[in-house]
Structure 1
């Protein structure tokens, strides 16, 4: 792992302090009871003035960065009111959360392969689109087949499937906790977090030195950093747990320190430098991850740097004046990758709103429509009418993002409605997705319905 410069040490110290301060806010100040005593009633003869009952305090929005805090509060209100539009996804979420209660802890040390470092605490994954060369006796070096996933990259020998299952479990459990108040979900999520990030015997080292290696070519690449794209479920999940007692101040400090160290690795390692320079969705997800972790660890300057890079370097080169994404449309799965890149850009738009960098309303070409809005408008009609997609495509129109709804079109459409308002095309596209994914948790996290 690369040497940690002094600035990283300062970042870790600030992260630890921030977590400790957060723990103080969450768990109280020395046990002092802040409840005000009732004021004695004044009496005149047998008459008395009844005590005034104060109005209930407004619920506190959770500290989340990718999810929308107000939308989560709205979902909580809708669930409490048994709003019929959310009952299907709510029942499905509870079933998934109950199943997650039975999960064994996830850990990188459980993989069968040993990283080149010899330390199983180092994350390891294999490039999904690379295959053994059938013309070579040992299959080495591997050869690329873009868009065709090698099953051997998606098993328990390495960590990528385990990583995504872990992120999904945390997202499920913390959302279920926040919406239901059932402490079992919070406690399970906290236990999983401690195993992956804190316990010395099972924790992941904060690096991706061996992400998406290619047998016979390289042990790891910057491209592998995309494997942690769903760490937003962890950082937001920690925010959703804040109203529980599941994470101690010490836990929060350790989690902040881990993410400060990982952020430093992203910014200073050779793999991080390579991924930062990627011109396509890899570069977009890199900026999104850096921004998310910088906001989580209260490093505003780093967040703004990444956002400005996305705004000034990536947006102008990735979108044309109509909102199409030429680099993604040239792939063997053009619909998937056009949506995939938009997932990352819409996360950046959300982060930018919190850091005063307006990506949501920016245009790649002066005088042209807002790029993200135009891009969603370009794709939406094909979601509703898949047979009209005009590009050669290995998989065609997808709804579930290769089995991960957060890599797919549903959150893109939902966030577009929140940013730009509903249109007939967006509504038709959402109706089509609902028919395919009625149980998606996204319906709860961005509930596009009223609170009545």
Structure 2
């Protein structure tokens, strides 16, 4: 672990090189809150320093990663082209009653480890997105050009280099052995790309990506968005009523903002009001379709993350998703309040969750909702619990509380 002296030395050395004047172009994160967080880091504010130290560890780890490529997988997709993304449905397992295990059978909530190895791209796309995200945020907070340079290399390798680039489709996402080569549900695999999109904006001031490369990245996302909107897989996922439909919408809205299609982003945000929120959130804040799962708390927060991103994108195109349908009792607020009571009393959770109440799942929601709605009920108790459970989560840095409800003991040194 880095010593505190080294950490502070890194910050003040790097900060001298950071562009502190221009706000980064980000769509999921909030440039204003990032600026507040950077000021707090400079002041050694205890509310963000544990998360800042974790950020440095993550960015340094990402700095040492070998570039990721879909062409690295061990299994070739049915197309015969390794540039096509390939993943296997994570909850499907060999059928023990069949000699060859085929077709696979579903065990909801239980991840088959063979779906997360190097044979396919599922773990690779998540690792790539997390690395680029950490490097982008690391560059913003430190000004260390190495972070931006390596992020640019990772982006070129995944999206632009003809020898290693991913084709802009997910035709072979979440295949089920013995049943189907790919499904619309696989589109949820690219939900991590919000980090990529924001990282592009975060490192843009460094000049490590040329204008031609930035244009190439926008073209890739334009092409991928077109595939999402016109393919059978995309149409199937858009029709999903649960979290899969929510993540389809938030992805398309995010990519539309990045590529400059505000009309499309506005359309997705407007449609989400009745198509997603009215269908998915009950009057008491429950999300019935997510409560059916074996990881009911996780999927309740998981779906709410997607809807919250849609609300964030709606802000940027004049659609107020946050306060729908009634500013005095908005649906998203109701959904979070329903979950909050079980964060402070997890043993009372009345539904199944084989992994228990997820504090790390809930944290980014609470932080973002306080940004919109102000200090939430039971804020002090919830914040205290979360700081005890996930004290170094980077979310504390990305979504700093404007008015922390829990006093921190001195400066984090």
Residue of 235, 244, 249 corresponding to 1:287? 249
1:244 offset after TM fit, Å? 0.8
Q: Which of residues 205, 221, 225 in structure 2 aligns to 1:259?
A: 221
Contact 2:78 2:181 (8 Å CA) reproduced: yes
1:309 CA displacement:
1.8
Structure-2 separation of matches of 1:423 and 1:433: 14
Is 193-202 or 57-66 further displaced after alignment?
57-66
Please tell me the root mean square deviation across aligned C-alpha atoms, in Å.
1.7
Task: From 1, 8, 33, give the equivalent of 1:71.
Answer: 33
| Counterpart in the other structure of 2:357 | 397
Matched with 1:167 is 129
| Shift in alpha-carbon separation, 1:250–1:367, aligned structure 2, 3 A | closer
What residue number does 1:346 align with? Answer: 308
Q: Distance in 1 between matches of 2:267 and 2:100?
A: 45
Which residues of 2 match residues 88-237 of structure 1 at below 5 A? 88-237=50-199
In the alignment, which of 319, 323, 341 is matched to residue 381 of structure 1? 341
Give the match's secondary structure for 2:57: helix
Q: Determine which of 269, 276, 286 is the counterpart of 2:231.
A: 269
TM-score scaled to structure 1, two decimals?
0.83
Q: Which position in structure 2 is the counterpart of 1:304?
A: 266
The aligned counterpart of 1:411 is 364
For residue 435 of structure 1, the aligned residue among 380, 388, 405 is 388
Once residues 149 and 437 of structure 1 are traced to their aligned partners in structure 2, the CA distance between those partners, rounded to angstroms, is 23
Per-residue deviation, residues 119-176 of structure 1 (Å, max 9, x unmatched): 1110000001111111111111111111111111111111010100111001111101
Query: Displacement, 1:80?
Result: 1.8
Give me the whole-angstrom Cα distance separating, in 2, the residues matched to 1:367 and 1:190. Answer: 42
Deviations 1:235-287 (A, max 9, x none): 10001112211111111011011010001011011100000000000000100
1:446 aligns with 399
CA distance, structure 2, for counterparts of residue 249 and residue 190 of structure 1: 12
The answer on whether the counterparts of 1:212 and 1:224 sit within 8 Å (CA) in structure 2 is yes
How far apart, in 1, do the equivalents of 2:28 and 2:256 lie? 13
For the pair shown, which has the larger CA radius of gyration, 1 or 2?
Answer: 1
CA distance in 1, matches of 2:20, 2:163: 42
Match in the other structure for 1:47: none
Specify every segment of 5 or more residues in structure 2 that has no aligned partner in the other structure, as ranges: 1-18, 405-410
Alignment partners' CA distance in 1, 2:156 and 2:81: 19
Alpha-carbon distance in 2 for matches of 1:224, 1:424: 37
Distance 2:116 2:332 in 1: 32
Does the alignment pair 1:356 with 2:356?
A: no
Cα distance per residue 1:281-321 (max 9 Å; x no partner): 00001000000000000101111121122112111110111
Contact 2:293 2:352 in 1 (8 A): no
Task: Mark the CA change 1:380 to 1:357 in structure 2 (over 3 Å): closer, same or farther.
Answer: same
- CA separation of 1:101 and 1:373: change in aligned 2, threshold 3 A: same
CA distance in 1, matches of 2:376, 2:225: 38
Whole-Å separation in 1 of the counterparts to 2:403 and 2:161: 43
- 1:59 has 2:12 as partner: no
TM-score, normalisation: structure 2: 0.91
Q: Answer with 83-92 or 133-142: which moved more.
A: 83-92
* 8 A Cα contact 2:371 2:402, kept in partner: no
Compute the displacement of 1:85 (Å): 1.9
The 1-side partners of 2:391 and 2:211 are apart by 38
- The 8 Å contact of residues 79 and 86 in structure 1, kept in 2 or not, is answered as yes
Mapped to 1, the partners of 2:383 and 2:185 lie a distance apart of 31
Change over 3 Å in CA distance of 1:352–1:223 after alignment to 2? same
Aligned pair count? 387
State the alpha-carbon separation in 2 of the partners of residues 393 and 102 from structure 1: 36
Match of 1:369 among 315, 329, 344: 329
What is the CA-CA distance between 1:374 and the residue it aligns to?
Answer: 0.7
Aligned-partner Cα distance in 2 for 1:355–1:293: 13
Note the 1:325-344 alignment, pairs <5 A.
Answer: 325-344=287-306
Q: Secondary structure at the match of 1:212?
A: strand
Does residue 317 in structure 1 map to residue 279 in structure 2?
Answer: yes
Distance, in Å, in 1 between the alignment partners of 2:219 and 2:271 is 25
